Chains A and B, each alone.
Chain A
């Protein structure tokens, strides 16, 4: 009897338990409501209405109109939004009081609405307020006030664009950023290359260097106002650091050979670069504070184009150690070198995404150039662009957009060539040319400087 109990009681309990569970499940499934899986939708850009910001006077009206132009341009260029034609607006901008007539905006299929107002403070500063409305939910999603100098309205427009982008995509924006690049002019034989800087949308272009010395490969510091680049100052190719605020520049280290392909580490306190000696290039890391130098690679091949992962743990670079130019990943110490590119053709200029999830690269295959991305383990290779010559990808700070430069071939008389900056979405869509004053190459995207919060 004891034995029976010992075995059967737990079994009976188990059985009862199972039956109870199954009964509940069966009852529940009988009661379940209708369920529908929605697995398809549009990838169309979101329709958004941005009526002119109301100005308190004629001057403010001009500013408000121009700001809306900048904001619309930013959102439209992102490929994720479609600013609606102001002609379709039913409710006039100056009639929008504290609360828009949402029905009017639903009628023109706007899903989001941006309203704003521009006034001048007593002290002469501009006061810009904006609100982002959910047209279907009929509520405010975002609302901010900015104060600024009147001539600084453009930056405020970028800040507002970022707020809208962030609220509607859940991803950080990238409009309040700048591009440093190499501006090219002159004939092919006597090419003048100068460092230049502009806003992300091509506005406010100006030069940083005179053009007496050739410059190449500028890179932004992720944390400071500095740019590192290669200059042929006095015909000695060396890596320099340029401070945007002071205009100071200094050579980085005193190396016996040519230094090139510099790039900041994500923390901004060191620069990784190549040093060429006797036909061999290896990768070195220099701490900017202590000026200590560490050698990361030691092979008889050409190792160059190093780029850190955002967590500082790994470095990707390209090397011809395997016979052709390919992409490798190693630990930041230089250990565990692994090749990750195995497709046809050559791979160059790997750049780690600020998100960390992808590495962008230039691919050369059968005489054509491609910009592509792959995961850090080498899987998931996707080519985003193709042309006669696409090169030098740089990431937007949110890791959604790549900028690169594209060279057009010149004809037999040497005419028609030139290079321009282009951007492309990570999806491979939405390729656009960035307007520059002349020929441009080697773009580098600045980080997004976050607004100080709190206080």
Chain B
């Protein structure tokens, strides 16, 4: 009895092991895989070497790489290289006895502007200054100008990601109303080849300015999901997968990294050289911005 049970248990264990190690193989086989790969690998080198953005397609006027291609020429405006006029030197340079008290101009704190309803903060805290205490009042501006920029602000406050639903400057001849497809659509076309993926990667890498300013920037890996139209343009604004972290206090560095990733995507769109027949493969892409190799992490 006992032996029978143990034997049974052992057999079951074997079955389980087979299950564990067998199933992934099965799942691999379900993909229509291997035979296409060698065929596709051949053009890899030539594809990868293709210049990243040969020329922007016609209908998209949004990004024109050359600034001077703009019909409106930069006016020869008397651009101000700041002339150093009498920069008011607040104090004379004292040069006398060793202990050198300054502050002759010490002025009494000015009365606060009562008129302003906002909170008013004086700035003359413990500032290592010889000059008279600066009287600076600061207040966050958002309150002041809510009316002026309310549209923007409300957008920003409420819902940062889906902010510009309308493809603003995209002309009519692009198919507008593509459904923001979810991954539920069956993918029927051939797989993306390595060179095709490389092409997308190369485009993005040209547009991405790695946020080198932040501390531990090498740990700030950002995932962004984008949805593309058949012409390679963005169907909707990029979505930072971990968008909650962007708003977390103390995660300003992550916010910076995420913003740099989003900026790169928006600078790069529309993407070029996408295989039209495989649209269902690349209409949704998750990009993983990983600066570790750049920043020596």
Contacts and interface: CB of A to CB of B under 8 A. Distances in A.
Chains A and B bind each other = yes
Contacts of B135: 125, 147-149, 152
Contact of B215 (A7, A90, A171): A171
A30 interface: yes
Contacts of A78: 213
Nearest to B222: A38
Interface string B160-181: 0001100001000000000000
B110 interface: yes
Nearest to B252: A170
Given A34-B282, A143-B141, 12 more contacts: A7-B5, A8-B5, A11-B9, A12-B12, A26-B23, A36-B197, A86-B80, A87-B79, A136-B262, A148-B134, A446-B128, A453-B121
A32 B292 CA distance: 24
A109 interface: yes
A36 B204 contact: yes
B101 interface: yes
B126 A449 contact: yes
B294 A43 contact: yes
Interface of A: 3-4, 6-8, 11-12, 14-15, 18-19, 22-23, 25-27, 29-44, 46, 52, 62, 65-66, 68-70, 78, 80, 85-90, 92, 98-99, 103, 106-109, 111, 121, 123, 125, 129, 131, 134, 136-140, 143-152, 154-156, 159, 165-166, 168-171, 178, 197, 203-210, 212-213, 220, 223-225, 233, 242, 244-249, 355, 357, 399-400, 427, 446, 449-455
Contact of A151 (B90, B130, B184, B257): B90
Contact of A245 (B129, B211, B252): B129
Given A38-B201, A43-B212, A455-B121, A143 B145 contact: yes
B144 A145 contact: yes
Give the 10 A-B CB pairs with smallest separation, nearest first: A69-B82, A169-B213, A26-B27, A41-B208, A86-B79, A247-B101, A170-B256, A170-B253, A143-B141, A170-B252
17 contacts: A3-B1, A11-B9, A26-B24, A33-B284, A35-B286, A36-B201, A40-B205, A41-B210, A98-B145, A106-B63, A107-B70, A139-B152, A146-B136, A146-B138, A204-B89, A355-B215, A452-B121
Nearest to B192: A34
Contacts of A137: 163, 259, 262-263, 266
Nearest to A225: B128
B130 A32 contact: no
B19 to A, nearest CB: 6
Contact of A52 (B80, B87, B95, B211): B80
Interface in B179-222: 183-184, 192, 197, 200-201, 204-206, 208-215
Contacts of A245: 103, 128-130
Contact of A87 (B76, B97, B262, B266): B76
Interface of B: 1-2, 4-6, 8-9, 12-13, 15-16, 19-20, 23-24, 26-27, 30-31, 62-64, 67, 70, 72, 74-77, 79-85, 87-91, 93-103, 110, 113, 119-123, 125-131, 134-142, 144-145, 148-149, 152-153, 155-156, 163-164, 169, 183-184, 192, 197, 200-201, 204-206, 208-215, 225, 252-257, 259, 261-264, 266-267, 281-282, 284-294
B94 A206 contact: yes
Nearest to B15: A15
A144 B143 CA distance: 10
Contacts of A144: 138-141
A99 B147 CA distance: 12
B45 to A, nearest CB: 18
Contacts of B15: 15
A38 B9 CA distance: 48
B100 A208 contact: yes
B204 A155 contact: no
Nearest to A447: B128
Given A18-B20, A33-B285, A136-B262, A207 B95 contact: yes
Given A22-B19, A155-B134, A40 B294 contact: yes
A8 B287 contact: no
B98 A209 contact: yes
A399 B141 contact: no
Contacts of B93: 205-207
B204 to A, nearest CB: 5
B128 A26 contact: no
B284 A171 contact: no
B239 to A, nearest CB: 12
Nearest to A7: B9
